[in-house]
């Protein structure tokens, strides 16, 4: 298959490496000529250019740009696509984006390969990035089944775990397990910093160990990622934050009123439930 990849960062570059290894011919698109050269040198693409017109021959386009650029990129692709060319993306929030992109191109199939790395950029790309990781496909009721099947087949060929659900179910689920934890974890760091007794703050910094390190990890991560989650998944995140505040208030109430057996029951329920998320 001839596959176009727009955006040659970690995800786009890794898709290129993996798809070329599977025998596909990969056409890359990057804004900067330097990135085009680097992607060819790395073997992530067969050829690369900055002009979307170079994608005219492809059977499928994977849009791997930052989330804000996905729908505009789909719109800009339209003049260059043959009928029934499948366009898919890798955005980590799906709701409005899938609607907007589908309005531009009915053969758009929203998707979210849930793979990543601490490092960003093309240099960190790896052909096995998607192996055994979830690859969520989020079609609309009107998305052509043939288009969905082509993205499912491609994801399966990457040896990813392919799931299909609605864009809104995807967004609610990732709000719980990915976007809410960032806000919860960042609030922990912020709360500690508000300690007005500097001796206690210094002591807390000295004594903190693995428990604090784990709980604060994602809250101390890349601020751009956290901001993107909040901006593009605002509604689902607010719903999760509200649910979280209710549970935190409930636990606080048990401590305040010294309801120790009820607190023990809650902590036991948490211990028992956690493995279902692992």
Rule CB under 8 A: which of 200-229 touch a second copy? 200, 203-209, 211-224, 226-227
If binding is defined by CB under 8 A, does position 190 make contact with a second copy? Answer: yes
Q: Measured from the CB atom, is 35 or 240 closer to a second copy?
A: 240
Q: Pick one of 3, 5, 151, 172: the residue that binds a second copy (CB under 8 A).
A: 172
Q: Which of 182, 15, 30, 19 is nearest to 113 (CA)?
A: 15
Q: What angle do CA 190, 195, 197 make, to 5 degrees?
A: 160
If binding is defined by CB under 8 A, does position 251 make contact with a second copy? Answer: yes
- Strand ranges for 149-276 from DSSP E: 161-164
Interacting stretch for a second copy, rule CB under 8 A, among 44-52, 77-85, 93-101, 241-249? Answer: 241-249
Interacting stretch for a second copy, rule CB under 8 A, among 58-66, 72-80, 152-160, 231-239? Answer: 231-239
Q: Measured from the CB atom, is 24 or 170 closer to a second copy?
A: 170
If binding is defined by CB under 8 A, does position 5 make contact with a second copy? Answer: no
Q: Any residues with CB less than 8 A from the CB of 206 and at least 6 apart, and which?
A: none
Q: Measured from the CB atom, is 47 or 156 closer to a second copy?
A: 156
If binding is defined by CB under 8 A, does position 156 make contact with a second copy? Answer: no
If binding is defined by CB under 8 A, does position 95 make contact with a second copy? Answer: no
CB-based burial label for 277 (10 Å; 0-12, 13-18, 19+): exposed
Q: How far apart are CA 123 and CA 274, in angstroms?
A: 35
Interacting stretch for a second copy, rule CB under 8 A, among 16-24, 26-34, 120-128, 238-246? Answer: 238-246
Interacting stretch for a second copy, rule CB under 8 A, among 2-10, 17-25, 147-155, 242-250? Answer: 242-250
Q: How many CA atoms lie within 13 A of 54 on its CB side?
A: 16
Positive or negative, the CA dihedral 181, 186, 189, 195 is negative
If binding is defined by CB under 8 A, does position 255 make contact with a second copy? Answer: yes
CB of 272 to a second copy, least distance (A): 8
- The residues in 104-143 that bind a second copy, with binding defined as CB under 8 A, are 114, 133-134, 136
Bridge partners, residue 268, by sequence:
none
Buried b (16+ CB within 10 A) or exposed e, 42-62: eebbbebeeebebbeebebbb
């Amino acid at each position: 298959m001839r596959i176009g990849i727009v955006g040659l960062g970690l995800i786009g570059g890794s898709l290129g490496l993996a798809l070329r290894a599977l025998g596909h011919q990969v056409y890359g698109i990057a804004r900067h000529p330097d990135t085009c050269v680097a992607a060819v040198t790395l073997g992530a693409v067969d050829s690369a250019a900055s002009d979307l017109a170079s994608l005219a021959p492809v059977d499928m386009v994977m849009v791997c740009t930052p989330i804000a650029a996905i729908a505009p990129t789909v719109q800009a692709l339209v003049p260059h696509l043959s009928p029934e060319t499948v366009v898919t993306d890798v955005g980590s929030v799906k709701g409005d984006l899938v609607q907007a992109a589908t309005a531009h191109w009915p053969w758009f199939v929203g998707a979210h390969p849930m793979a990543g790395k601490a490092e960003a950029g093309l240099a960190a790309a790896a052909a096995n990035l998607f192996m055994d990781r979830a690859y969520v496909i989020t079609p609309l009721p009107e998305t052509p089944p043939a288009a969905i099947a082509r993205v499912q087949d491609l994801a399966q060929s990457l040896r990813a775990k392919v799931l299909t659900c609605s864009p809104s179910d995807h967004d609610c689920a990732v709000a719980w397990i990915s976007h809410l934890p960032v806000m919860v974890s960042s609030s922990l760091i912020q709360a500690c910093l508000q300690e007005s007794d500097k001796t206690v703050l210094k002591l807390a910094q000295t004594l903190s160990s693995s428990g604090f390190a784990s709980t604060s990890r994602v809250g101390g991560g890349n601020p751009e990622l956290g901001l993107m989650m909040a901006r593009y998944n605002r509604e689902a995140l607010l719903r999760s934050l509200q649910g979280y505040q209710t549970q935190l208030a409930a636990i606080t109430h048990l401590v305040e009123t010294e309801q120790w057996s009820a607190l023990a029951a809650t902590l036991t329920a948490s211990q028992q439930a956690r493995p279902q998320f692992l």
